[in-house]
Amino acid sequence: MTRKKLIILYLIAFICQLTVINLIGINNVGPNLILCLTVVIIFVFDEGWRCIPYSLGAALLIDVCAGTVIGAAPLALFCTGIFAEAARERLNTELLAPLAVTGAIATLFNNVVYWLILKILGDPMSILYILKFQIFYIIYNILVMFVIFHFMNKIRAAREKEEDEYGI
């Protein structure tokens, strides 16, 4: 993934996250596009972790527009990114099942870290409330990850074919 492509992807994800996604949100629950994009890119591409700085930028912008405290979402996402990279090294990245498992754990991990940061800063929300809705966030995020994975896999396949043809 080139730098230009990453910037465009995260810019689109950022804009959609705050506007279009609200259309499919049910009872204040919706997918986290930045998280989904980051996990899938890390999962699919060899040096996918290079997307992390861009994802942090996008998460920071989300916080500026609709966050309780600026910086909490990028910090949670950074931890999740490290987890996704660790998972990638141990799993088969061409199958959907490992992605689903990684996506589910990443969603839970991201939301719990986010909650923890806000809790330290005195937010009243309880962990039980966060956990109560996790299943919906997980389902939503996994569905979005599958869609992104489908497109990213095509890019990966095209790139591998290109490399084979030129004998790289």
Partner 1 sequence: MKWFGEHKLFSAIAGIVLVLIIIITGSFLTAGGSGIVGRGFQTAASAVAKPLEAVTSGIGDTLSGIITFRDTQKENDKLKQENTELRQENLELKLKRSQLRQLKKLSKAFNFKPYSENSSAVAGNIIELDYSTPYVVFTIDKGKSAGIKKNDIVVDGDGLVGKVIETGSGWSKVKSVLSESNNISFKILRDTNVTGVLKGNGRNALTGYLMESSDRIIEGDTLVTTGIGTYPEGIRIGKVSDVSYDDDQQLKTVTVRPTVNFSGLTRVAVFI
User: What residues line the site for partner 1 (CB under 8 A)?
Assistant: 15, 17-23, 25, 27-33, 35, 56, 60-75, 78, 82, 111, 114, 117-118, 121-126, 128-130, 133, 137
Q: Which residues contact 130 (CB under 8 A, 6 or more apart)?
A: 111, 112, 115
For partner 1, the closer of residues 39 and 130 by Cβ is: 130
Residue 67 CB, nearest distance to partner 1 (Å)? 6
CA distance 115 to 91: 28
Q: If you ran DSSP here, which 8-state letter would residue 45 be given?
A: S
Residue 100 CB, nearest distance to partner 1 (Å)? 18
Residue 45 CB, nearest distance to partner 1 (Å)? 18
For partner 1, the closer of residues 46 and 160 by Cβ is: 46
105: which 2 tokens? 């754990």
Q: Which residues contact 59 (CB under 8 A, 6 or more apart)?
A: 34, 73, 74, 76, 77
Instruction: From 3, 40, 47, select the one nearest 150 (Cα to Cα).
Output: 40
Tell me how crowded residue 49 is: count the other CB atoms within 10 A of its CB: 16
Residue 94 CB, nearest distance to partner 1 (Å)? 26
For partner 1, the closer of residues 74 and 156 by Cβ is: 74
Residue 138 contacts residue 107 (beta carbons within 8 Å):
yes
For partner 1, the closer of residues 8 and 95 by Cβ is: 8
Tell me how crowded residue 19 is: count the other CB atoms within 10 A of its CB: 9
Residue 135 CB, nearest distance to partner 1 (Å)? 13
For partner 1, the closer of residues 91 and 123 by Cβ is: 123
